[in-house]
Amino acid sequence: MANYGVVNLKRVGTSLISTLTQIQETCHSTNYPMTFEQIDHPYGYVIYTTTLQTTGKNLSTPHIKDFGYVFLNNVYQGMLNKGNPTSINLNGANAGDILRILVENGGRQAYWTINDYKGLFNATFDGVTLQNWIQCGVNLTEASINSLTGNFDSIIENNSEDFSSLAATSQPGVFTGQFTASQLQDTFFNSTGWGKGQLFVNGFNLGRYWPLYGPQVNDKIDE
């Protein structure tokens, strides 16, 4: 195994949700949210967007599958989990604010998959059902990742803020960095101290990481 040292990262864009909207696919407008299956997007992510009609606080999604990352006016509020928590307080939310929930498909069952639906099934705001949703699929393919991070020199020039692993876990985003492999050898990415995410090298998806729950902490990167 080769040790290529610490890789300094730069954030792509101002927030995760504003960055991912650049690579979102076909969108569907409906009164109530649609599942991944209904929009023919069985894997990956879907961005659900609606406009709040009232001032309020508590957002509840008791049947979300599997994970939801909540943004109010593109500002990150927190993560929802099909296990816990399934609700979150939106401090300072007002009528006219834009609510976006990035829903992640965490994987499919290996058995009895006929009812293994994914997505946002019902969302309430202070007990009132939210309506008028736009849902857009997001696939983190090699092409889409490269389109976001391809102009690396421009990213470095226009964003002078460095992000350590501690900062990366506090605010979700797309981060990019470079390292030079003087010799091609197997290596690994150590996610200790990070939150939840996915790792790409040269556009290739190497898998998810979530060291808090493990058991895998190191993602192997083959030669």
Same domain, yes or no: 79 and 131: yes
Q: What is the CATH number of the domain that holds 98?
A: 2.60.120.260
What is the C-alpha separation between 158 and 8, in angstroms, rounded? 15
Same domain, yes or no: 44 and 103: yes
- Structural domain span for residue 46: 26-138
- Per-residue confidence (pLDDT) for residue 107, from 0 to 100: 78
Q: What's the token pair of residue 132?
A: 């008028």
- Per-residue confidence (pLDDT) for residue 9, from 0 to 100: 83
pTM of the model: 0.85
User: CA of 163: how far to CAs of 26, 64, 159, 171, 175, in Å?
Assistant: 32, 30, 11, 10, 8
Q: Which residues of the chain have pLDDT under 70?
A: 1-2, 110-114, 149-169, 222-223
Q: Nearest-5° angle of CA 201, CA 207, CA 209?
A: 110
Residue 9, beta-bridge partner list:
163
- Per-residue confidence (pLDDT) for residue 166, from 0 to 100: 44
Q: What's the token pair of residue 70?
A: 């909540």
Burial 162-190 (b: 16+ CB within 10 A, else e): ebeeeebbeebbbbbeeeeeeeeeebebe
Same domain, yes or no: 117 and 158: no
- Per-residue confidence (pLDDT) for residue 169, from 0 to 100: 47
- Per-residue confidence (pLDDT) for residue 47, from 0 to 100: 98
Contact, 82 vs 62, CB < 8 A? Answer: no
Q: What's the token pair of residue 123?
A: 């969302």
Same domain, yes or no: 79 and 177: no
Last residue of a domain, one of 138, 170, 196: 138
Last residue of a domain, one of 107, 138, 169: 138
- Per-residue confidence (pLDDT) for residue 103, from 0 to 100: 97
Contact, 140 vs 44, CB < 8 A? Answer: yes
Whether 3 maps to a domain, the answer reads no
Domain count of the fold of the chain: 2
Same domain, yes or no: 167 and 210: yes
Instruction: List, in order, residues 6 or more apart from 215 with CB less than 8 Å away.
Output: none
- Per-residue confidence (pLDDT) for residue 74, from 0 to 100: 93
Same domain, yes or no: 131 and 151: no
User: pLDDT tens-digit profile of 179-218?
Assistant: 887 777 778 888 888 888 988 888 788 888 888 887 778 7
- Count of alpha carbons within 13 Å of 17, Cβ hemisphere only? 24
